[in-house]
């Protein structure tokens, strides 16, 4: 059997990706102002166990009054 592909689970196994996600979320919301971006970061850090999909739903509803789906 010849191996064609190898997949690695980097999130918390080989490398910690939390800081990369934090930076990405902040950058995504910076166009809406530094205050919103900082609130996004704070919520992300304080709610580490919540899916990013749920975080986006929360942020969009909280900051812009939008109800979004998956």
Query: What's phi and psi for 11, nearest 5 deg?
Result: -70, 95
Q: How much is the pLDDT for 3?
A: 85
Query: Using CA atoms, how far apart are residues 30 and 6, in angstroms rounded to an integer?
Result: 36
Q: How much is the pLDDT for 13?
A: 58
Closest listed residue to residue 32, CA positions, set 54, 69, 64, 67: 64
- Residue 58 Cα to chain centre, angstroms: 12
What are the pLDDT digits (tens) for 6-60? 776 655 555 567 788 899 999 999 999 999 999 999 999 999 889 999 999 999 9
Closest listed residue to residue 35, CA positions, set 43, 18, 16: 43
């Amino acid at each position: 059997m010849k191996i064609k592909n190898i997949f690695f689970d980097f999130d918390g196994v080989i490398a910690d990706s939390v800081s990369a996600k934090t930076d990405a979320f902040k950058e995504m919301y910076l166009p809406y102002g530094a205050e919103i971006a900082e609130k996004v970061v704070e919520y992300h850090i304080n709610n580490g166990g919540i899916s990013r999909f749920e975080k986006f739903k929360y942020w969009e509803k909280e900051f812009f009054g939008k109800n979004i789906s998956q």
